[in-house]
Structure 1
Amino acid sequence: MSKHRLFIFLLTFVAFISGLSLVSAQREIPALVKKVKPAVVVIYTYDSNGELLGQGSGFFVNAKGDVITNIHVLLGAYRGEVKTSQGESYFIKGVIGQDIEGDLVKIVLDISDKTFPYLRVCTSLPEDGERVVVIGHPLGLEQTVSDGIVSVVRYAPPLGQVIQITAPISPGSSGSPVVNMDGDVVGVVALMLGKGQSLNFAIPGEKIVNLKPRKIQALQEWTTVTGDEWLESAKGLFFSGLSILWEEDYEGALPYFEEAIKKNPDFAEAHYWLGWAYSMLGRHKEAIKVLKESIR
């Protein structure tokens, strides 16, 4: 065989293999979603008058039906309920584990004699460039699927170590599982930075495994005690500001971001969103000054 023909053969072979890999990858995601979706839930929270307070995402971590979500999803709730992908709803009985710094909480539901599909949690960090899938309930759209890659694992005060992903997320995605191509949870969606939906962050799965068991605490009692502690922290102030900003109350969000920065001057995300709020209010000089702080 001539060198020219050999080159053409090798080129064709490589293209063929690449095509098979692409087709295989395209087929993997639907199968993965089918496997993961039954364990993903939407969480609704209500105030003392029974009015809807907010919503977020979560997922089952064991057959008993214990659910993982973010602390900020439950704050201020008088009561809450979880809705499964099968349309079944269960009231939240209480909290049995939390990590204030990691913005994670484990809740137990008011159920008995029932088993649930659940997700395994991976304790090792994903690799940069690793493909991941997020299933959650952004903007009230239940069971929404997005995919992307791990951009990098970085340290981001005051959140600690976080996983930066490109999979799009939006308000309501908080608490969603970030799973690898084996269907194991590598992280929990915590926040997004910017509306380009490419700077999104998740808390590593290791923090789920390290949640210390605690005596069950009723949701109303827990949110009262934890809420005070949370709102005094830079992270709590930041998430409070975000929730107000997502309602397009830019003026109302300003003091929360400003106070968060006072407590932690290196909080880049708080600088960024403060700048964004200033920009939306037409206060461009202040916005530029603050945004410079977010990238220094």
Structure 2
Amino acid sequence: QRLRPAIVEVRATSSGGQKVSGSGVTFRTDGHILTNRHVVDGASNVVVIASDGRSLTAKIVGTDADTDVAVLKVESEMPVATLGTTSGLQVGQQAIAIGSPLGLSGGPSVTVGVVSALGRRIDNNDGPPLVDMIQTDAPISPGSSGGALVDSDGNVIGITTAIAVSEVGAEGLGFATPIDIARDVAEQLLNTGRVVHVWLGVRGEDLDLTMAKSLGITGGALVNEVTKDSPADVAGLRPQDVITTVNGKTVSGIADVIVNVRTRKVGDVVKVTVSRAGKPQTFSVTLKERTVN
């Protein structure tokens, strides 16, 4: 109930008259709203329906294809959502999706599920692949795209997206951009009008308890794949390494690695400590700008 006033309906119309309906999350009291890029992409007119029923004209501040994030601005004071963090987020935690599905009247709707995976890469039929995504079994219908994925305390942990996916078996799943990434994208769009993404170049998963116990550690991120010529590859990381700390901060799972890296800048050097064959090793990784490829 506390969050619902900060969830808005977004109605976008293209110059050709095509209409798209989605959702948005107000994150600044001066009327700045987070939503999905694909909801407003190519729109010549955007209208936001506030939780109190007001119809407000919105300006597109900026969009980012790599994360499917867009920032809108309405000229009105607005109630805001509490933005949380995905740092420490674990598979199995409760996840609540809030949005305005299909533009139905009666205010935002709520669906409940769990976080079913972290660090997902989703091939997007309408743009570049989306990486580092939260996967949930909470249903996200097209009109809820751009709404909030929330934890059990009511803090926003992701911006939901109901993209058309080409991955077999992904049709019934919901996905969300981690809020730490969405917030960073929004700040860059507001400050510079352009978004630069850094990358490490690994894909991985949370370390299971059995393996953690055998290595004598409490948790970490198991590296499944290291992209050739990526910063991680150049620094010397390998598949089957278990990342335990990044810049001295303990890593409990893959979400911690994602959050720590994605909020840094091009050229930053991060110290990544791994457990390799049961022995700790530390690597200096120089982060680079991530390209579409």
Name the TM tier (shorter chain): 0.5 to 0.7
1:174 is the counterpart of 2:145: yes
Is 1:61–2:27 an aligned residue pair? yes
CA distance in 2, matches of 1:197, 1:148: 16
CA–CA separation in structure 2 for the residues paired with 1:189 and 1:88: 23
Any conservation in 2 of the 1:41–1:58 contact (CA below 8 Å)? yes
User: How many Å separate the matches in 2 of 1:77 and 1:216?
Assistant: 22
1:120 aligned to 82, 85, 94, which one? 82
Q: In structure 2, do the counterparts of structure 1 residues 108 and 210 end up closer, same or farther at CA, with 3 Å as the change threshold?
A: same
User: Aligned runs of 1:102-121 on 2, under 5 Å?
Assistant: 102-109=67-74, 111=75, 114-121=76-83
CA distance in 2, matches of 1:195, 1:53: 28
- Of residues 129, 138, 142, the one that matches 2:101 is 138
Distance 1:155 1:196, change over 3 A: closer
What does residue 189 of structure 2 align with? 213
In structure 2, distance between residues paired with 1:213 and 1:74: 15
Unmatched runs of 5 consecutive residues or more in structure 2: 123-128, 194-293
Return the letter of the residue paired with 1:115.
E
More deviation in 190-199 or 77-86? 190-199
Q: What letter corresponds to residue 41 of structure 1 in structure 2?
A: V
Alpha carbons 2:99, 2:108 under 8 Å: kept = yes
Matched, 1:149 2:114: yes
The 3 A distance-change label for structure 1 pair 65 and 48 is same
Distance 1:161 1:216, change over 3 A: closer
Overall identity of the aligned pairs, in %: 32
Aligned to 2:64: 99
Deviation at 1:195, TM superposition (A): 9.2
Structure 2 residue 21 is the aligned partner of structure 1 residue 35: no
Larger CA deviation: 177-186 vs 40-49: 40-49
1:93/1:108 contact within 8 Å kept: yes
- Superposition deviation, residue 107 in structure 1: 1.2
For 1:136 and 1:197, the matched residues in 2 are separated by 19
Q: What is the DSSP-based 3-state SS (H/G/I as helix, E as strand, rest coil) of the residue aligned with 1:35? A: coil
Residue 44 of structure 1 corresponds to: 11
- CA contact under 8 A between 1:37 and 1:85: conserved in structure 2? yes
Contact 1:169/1:197, CA 8 A, preserved across alignment: no
In terms of fraction of residues, the more helix-rich structure is 1
Query: For the Cα contact (< 8 Å) 2:140–2:161, is it kept in 1?
Result: no
Instruction: Report the TM-score when normalising by structure 1.
Output: 0.56
Q: Give structure 1 stretches of 5+ with no counterpart.
A: 1-33, 218-296
**Following the alignment from structure 2 to structure 1, what is the Cα–Cα distance between the partners of residues 59 and 64?**
18
- Contact 2:121–2:132 (Cα < 8 Å) also in 1: yes
Give 1 or 2: higher strand fraction.
2
Look at both structures and tell me which one has the larger radius of gyration over its CA atoms: 1
Q: What is the TM-score when the length of structure 2 is the normalising length?
A: 0.56
* Pair 1:210–1:115, CA change in 2 (3 A): same
**1:90: Cα distance to partner?**
0.8
Question: Do 2:8 and 2:49's aligned partners in 1 also have CA atoms closer than 8 Å?
Answer: yes
Q: Measure, in 1, the Cα distance between the counterparts of 2:102 and 2:120.
A: 28
State the match for 1:164 in structure 2. Answer: 135
